Structures are given as structure tokens and as C-alpha cells.
A and B are shown apart, each in its own frame.
Chain A
Amino acid sequence: EDQVTQSPEALRLQEGESSSLNCSYTVSGLRGLFWYRQDPGKGPEFLFTLYSAGEEKEKERLKATLTKKESFLHITAPKPEDSATYLCAVRKAGTALIFGKGTTLSVSS
């Protein structure tokens, strides 16, 4: 069965304290791994798409990496405005996205 598991469920950081979020997946025929940011009461906002093991993408303080079994979202020197739920999702050929439960990040100043 296809599964996407995110850890930790919740993460509290001090401003400037770097960390990583994990997304492990068991999917046959992966057609892309997606990272989204979701603020309370809003729809997901696209961050990154990764397609093959070894691929990395960066955007401001965020960097996403992909291996054959998992993806990491690295947050460098986070700020309070980075507080949100970060969702990982995978796509198989011909299907919609399969989401993990997300990691809720809180960054305090």
C-alpha cells in the first residue's frame, strides 16, 4: 500500500535554530515528490517538486532533498514567519497526490 509518513508531527524551534523535516514514502512508480506549506484555514502553497534521487532544490531558507526512500526539508535559520504546517505529497502515474499528515512548525523569536 502506498504510504507517506512525515516526522516529527510537531516541531518547535527558536528563531535561527536550523532543523530538518522528514518525509518517508513507500510508493511504486514515483512521478514526483511535492512539498507544500499550509497556513491555518488556507489551502496548500507550492514549495518544491523533486523527481529523482539526489535532486535538491532551494528557496530562501528552505532546501529540499530526495533519496529513494525519503525526502528532507531543511530549514536554515528559521524566522517566526516560517511557522506553518509543511505537507509532503507523492504522485504516481495517472493519480492525484497522496499526502502525509504534515509537520507543524512553530518558530519563536
Chain B
Amino acid sequence: GAVVSQHPSWVICKSGTSVKIECRSLDFQATTMFWYRQFPKQSLMLMATSNEGSKATYEQGVEKDKFLINHASLTLSTLTVTSAHPEDSSFYICSARVGVSNYGYTFGSGTRLTVV
């Protein structure tokens, strides 16, 4: 149980275009979802926290106008990278808190974004 499905698993886009990444909780309701970014051989860095039906909370240094997060339902959160540039190339991962179970936080499988 407690599966988060993330799509696409990889995407290549041209500089200046926008890319949308989706995360769906398949068998539970995710009131809160977290978006992380991971550069090679680096830790997962929290970008933002999204709560269903309200605006996302962004971490310091993360541009909210560039990384648009929508959490319109209890099972779907999306991250849109707008006007992507090569420096946005990274591994993006979503996560959801699974109630109060020992699962804690479950993660999506990640999206490898390459901007050319």
C-alpha cells in the first residue's frame, strides 16, 4: 500500500519551454505533498510543500514563479517548471506523508529532467 505514482520518469525539453510533472497517490489521500530536487551525488533538497486546496509553501531560494505547484485534489499534485533552462536539469521527486503509520513518507519514482 501507500504508493505514489510519478510521471513522466524522464523528459527532455528545449530551453524556454515548460514541463509538467505529476504525482498521484494511488491508494490513499495525500493532504500534504512535498517536492524535492536532487543533483548528482547530492542530498534531496526540499523545494516546496503543497497542501490540498491551498497555496504551496516554498523553501528559501526556490522561485515560486518558476516552479508552479498545484495540489487541486487529495490524490494529485503537479509541479510545472516554467521557462526551463539547462540549470534546471535535475532529478525531481515528490513525496507524501502516509497518515501516522510507520511508512512515514512515501516517495514517487522520480523524474529526470534534461533541458537542452
Residues in A lying within 8 Å of B, measured CB to CB: 32, 34, 36, 41-46, 49, 87, 89, 91, 96-102
Please report B residues at the A interface, Cβ cutoff 8 Å. 4, 6, 34, 41-46, 49, 91, 93, 95, 102-110, 112
Given the interface contacts A43-B109, A96-B49, does A101 sit within 8 Å of B42 by beta carbon?
yes
Residues of A contacting B42 in the complex (Cβ-Cβ under 8 angstroms): 101
Report the nearest A residue to B42, measured CB to CB: A101
4 closest cross-chain pairs (CB), A and B: A43-B107, A99-B43, A101-B43, A99-B44
Cβ contact of A46, chosen from B43, B46, B106, B109, cutoff 8 A: B106
B101 to chain A, nearest CB (A): 9
Q: State the main secondary structure of chain B at its contact with A.
A: strand
Given that A43-B108, A87-B44, A101-B42 are known contacts, is A96 also in contact with B103, CB under 8 Å in the complex? Answer: no
Contact B110 A42 (CB under 8 A): yes
Could you write out 21 A-B pairs with CB less than 8 Å apart?
Answer: A34-B105, A36-B107, A41-B91, A41-B110, A42-B109, A43-B4, A43-B95, A43-B107, A44-B44, A44-B93, A44-B107, A46-B106, A87-B43, A87-B44, A89-B44, A96-B95, A97-B105, A98-B46, A100-B43, A101-B41, A102-B43
Complex CA gap A70/B91 in Å reads 28
Question: Knowing that A44-B44, A96-B34, A98-B46 are A-B contacts, what are 13 other residue pairs whose CB atoms are under 8 Å apart, sorted by A's residue number?
Answer: A34-B105, A36-B107, A43-B6, A43-B108, A45-B107, A46-B103, A49-B102, A49-B104, A87-B43, A96-B46, A96-B95, A100-B43, A101-B43
Contact B104 A32 (CB under 8 A): yes
Instruction: Report chain B residues within 8 Å CB of A100.
Output: 43
State the Cβ distance, A20 to closest chain B Cβ, in Å: 20
CA distance A91 to B91 in the complex (A): 22
